[in-house]
Amino acid sequence: MEDNERKLLEQYVEKDRKLKELFDEHKRLEKRISKLAKKPFLTADEEEEEKRLKKEKLQGRDAMFQILKQYSRD
- pTM score of the predicted model: 0.84
Percentage of the chain modeled with pLDDT above 70: 97
- The average pLDDT across 19-34 equals 96
Burial class for 37, CB neighbours closer than 10 Å (0-12, 13-18, 19+): exposed
For residue 30, what are the CA distances in angstroms to 1, 5, 19, 21, 74?
Answer: 14, 18, 16, 14, 30
- For residue 32, what are the domain limits? 3-73
Q: For residue range 31-56, list pLDDT tens digits in order.
A: 999 999 999 999 999 999 999 999 99
Predicted local distance difference test score (pLDDT) of residue 74: 64
Domain count along the chain: 1
Summary mean pLDDT of the chain: 92
Mean pLDDT lowest for which of 16-20, 34-38, 66-70?
66-70
